[in-house]
């Protein structure tokens, strides 16, 4: 789908705050409310907008201990990769999982309360998954940038 300048601006406004009304967006874009509504529907139907979510403050829900865990599988067999990916989807502490190149096969972003919770997660959940050869964990010291917005 080709996006014009108005679509791009609309998407940036929605990424900033998707609870803005079509009237507010229309005012910012210089369009009618109907035109904005139709553009949003077009973007949703085309899959450009895949869903709307609420972003939570990790501190307020006591999940501010962030770990990046590198995981290496024992082998790169298709069945091992697919099984690991299925199983990691069920780990609530894992908020992001990337299949990567390099020394490790996956990088997991994990949010827990503290180091004790992370130890418990490792012992009772992550290391119980099959086909894991090794892990390497890095702990967040401070958050420099965190955005969900995609530049258009």
> Do residues 129 and 89 lie in contact, with contact meaning Cβ atoms separated by under 8 Å?
no
Separation of alpha carbons 26 and 64, rounded Å: 37
- Helix, strand or coil for residue 67? strand
Q: What is the pLDDT of residues 27-36, one digit of tens each?
A: 999 999 999 9
**What is the CATH number for 78?**
3.30.70.920
Return d(Cα 13, Cα 18) in angstroms, integer: 7
Domains contained in the chain, number? 2
Query: What tokens appear for 105 in the block?
Result: 């096969």
- State the pLDDT at residue 103: 95
Q: Are residues 37 and 76 in the same domain?
A: no
Q: What is the mean pLDDT of the chain?
A: 97
Q: What is the pTM of this model?
A: 0.89
Determine the average pLDDT of the residues in 96-116: 98
The two tokens of residue 128 are: 């119980």
Note the pLDDT of residue 30: 98
In a domain, 151, yes or no: no
Q: Supply the range of the domain harboring residue 81.
A: 58-139
Based on the fold, state whether residues 40 and 70 are members of the same structural domain.
no
Please indicate, yes or no, whether residues 39 and 108 belong to a single structural domain of this protein: no
CA distance 152 to 150: 6
Residue 12 pLDDT class (50, 70, 90 cuts): very high
Q: What is the pLDDT of residue 143?
A: 94
Q: Using one digit for the tens of pLDDT, what is the confidence trace for 47-104?
A: 999 999 999 999 999 999 999 999 999 999 999 999 999 999 999 999 999 999 999 9
């Amino acid at each position: 789908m080709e996006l014009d300048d108005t679509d791009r601006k609309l998407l940036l406004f929605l990424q900033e705050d998707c609870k803005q009304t079509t009237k507010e967006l229309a005012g910012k874009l210089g369009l009618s409310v109907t035109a904005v509504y139709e553009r949003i529907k077009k973007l949703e139907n085309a899959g450009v907008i895949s869903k709307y979510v609420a972003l939570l403050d990790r501190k307020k829900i006591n999940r501010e201990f962030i770990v990046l865990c590198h995981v290496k599988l024992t082998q790169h067999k298709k069945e091992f990769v697919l099984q690991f990916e299925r199983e990691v989807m069920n780990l609530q502490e894992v908020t992001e999982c990337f299949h990567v190149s390099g020394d490790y096969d996956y990088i997991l972003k994990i949010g827990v309360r503290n180091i004790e919770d992370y130890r418990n997660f490792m012992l009772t959940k992550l290391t119980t998954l099959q086909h894991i050869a090794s892990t390497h964990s890095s702990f967040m010291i401070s958050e420099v940038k965190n955005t969900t917005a995609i530049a258009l």
